[in-house]
């Protein structure tokens, strides 16, 4: 009896040891890039950017943001370029340096000889406003702002898109451009959208070869309760592009894409349209803290960053699309 009990104990111990050595099954990888998009990582990017303070031209935060963008894109395996230019502002005519930061993710078509290369451009501005000129407090109107939504949200979304593209290389080429000088100007001046204007002006030099199939610009896409406007210019000339994005938003059940007003907004997509690129803008222009000291991270949400990023991936990268 004692021998039998000892044998059973030994068998039980052996089975327990065998079970302990078994590794739990590895989780299944995301089926799509959309599912791989992590809004919490995007939120950490937004926190990091806002911790730098205002990222307006010439500030320490502006320099730190540039380094953060370069480092993140390089860590994601992108081919990174600084697209530098000078601009003479209307106020004093002094030439000042600006830098667009671009990261290219090559698609499979880039490595297949004889195929016309298809690629898309995703863009946003990373600079923040030098003046909170829309603030209801007069004392705040001459101070730089944090720009959590206006300058931070689109940047955070595209940094997480870059991580997804590293883990799940795209079939088509993707160029991510972080524009400088979008919010440089005083109200009523032409000193806005400097980065996209320079890119368009020097397009053939910077991007020889076929133009992108489309471009999508993000601006103010992190508001906790946001509703996106539908770009009227794109709707008139390239409605299929808006259609792809709004269908993706509808499929995801996002209220941000429901009942969207049709509006024309001048932004970084405008210069791209001017050089013949089908381009549109995703923006919540009803954001009440626009150009004020109250554009802070507590007005934003990770959920909004997640919706925006997943819509981009679902509409333009996960599923092949055809231009019309």
Please name each of the domains of the chain with its CATH number.
34-318 (3.40.630.10)
Place of tokens 């919540």: 284
Residues lower than pLDDT 70 in the chain: 1-30, 109-117, 322-324
Other Cβ atoms less than 10 A from the Cβ of 91: the count is 10
H or E element, residue 42: helix 39-51
Nearest 10 degrees: Cα torsion 219, 216, 200, 60: 40
β-strand 173-179 against 214-219: which pairing, if any? unpaired
Question: What per-residue confidence (pLDDT) applies to 92?
Answer: 72
So what's the pLDDT on residue 19?
44
pLDDT of residue 5: 54
Instruction: Please list, in sequence order, all residues whose beta carbon lies within 8 angstroms of the beta carbon of residue 323, skipping any fewer than 6 positions away.
Output: 213, 214, 238, 240, 278
Query: Which secondary-structure segment (H or E) carries 102?
Result: strand 95-105
Model confidence, pTM: 0.89
- In the three-class reduction of DSSP (H, G, I as helix; E, B as strand; rest coil), residue 180 is classed as coil
Structure tokens at 46: 């937004």
């Amino acid at each position: 009896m004692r021998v039998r009990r000892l044998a059973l104990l030994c068998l039980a111990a052996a089975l327990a040891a065998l079970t302990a050595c078994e590794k739990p099954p590895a989780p299944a990888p995301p089926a799509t890039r959309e599912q791989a998009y992590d809004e919490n990582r995007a939120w950490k990017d937004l926190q990091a950017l806002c911790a730098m303070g205002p990222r307006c031209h010439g500030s320490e935060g502006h320099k730190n943001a540039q380094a953060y963008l370069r480092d993140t894109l390089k860590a994601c395996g992108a081919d990174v370029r600084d697209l530098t230019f000078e601009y003479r502002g209307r106020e004093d005519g002094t030439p000042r340096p600006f830098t667009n930061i671009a990261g290219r993710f090559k698609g499979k078509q880039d490595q297949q000889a004889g195929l016309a290369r298809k690629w898309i451009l995703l863009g946003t501005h990373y600079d923040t406003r030098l003046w909170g000129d829309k603030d209801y407090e007069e004392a705040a109107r001459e101070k730089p702002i944090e720009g959590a939504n206006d300058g931070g949200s689109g940047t955070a979304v595209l940094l997480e898109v870059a991580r997804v593209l590293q883990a799940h290389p795209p079939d088509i080429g993707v160029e991510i451009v972080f524009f400088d000088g979008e919010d440089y100007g005083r109200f009523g001046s032409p000193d806005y959208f400097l980065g996209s204007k320079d890119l368009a002006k020097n397009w053939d030099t910077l991007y020889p070869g076929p133009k992108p199939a489309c471009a999508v610009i993000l601006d103010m896409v992190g508001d906790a309760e946001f509703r996106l406007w539908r770009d009227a210019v794109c709707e008139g000339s390239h409605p299929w592009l808006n259609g792809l994005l709004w269908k993706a938003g509808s499929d995801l059940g996002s209220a941000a894409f429901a009942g969207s007003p049709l509006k024309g907004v001048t932004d970084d997509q405008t210069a791209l349209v001017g050089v013949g690129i089908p381009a549109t803008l995703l923006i919540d222009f009803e954001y009440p803290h626009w150009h004020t000291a109250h554009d802070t991270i507590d007005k934003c949400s990770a959920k909004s960053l997640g919706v925006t990023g997943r819509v981009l991936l679902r509409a333009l990268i996960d599923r092949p699309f055809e231009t019309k």
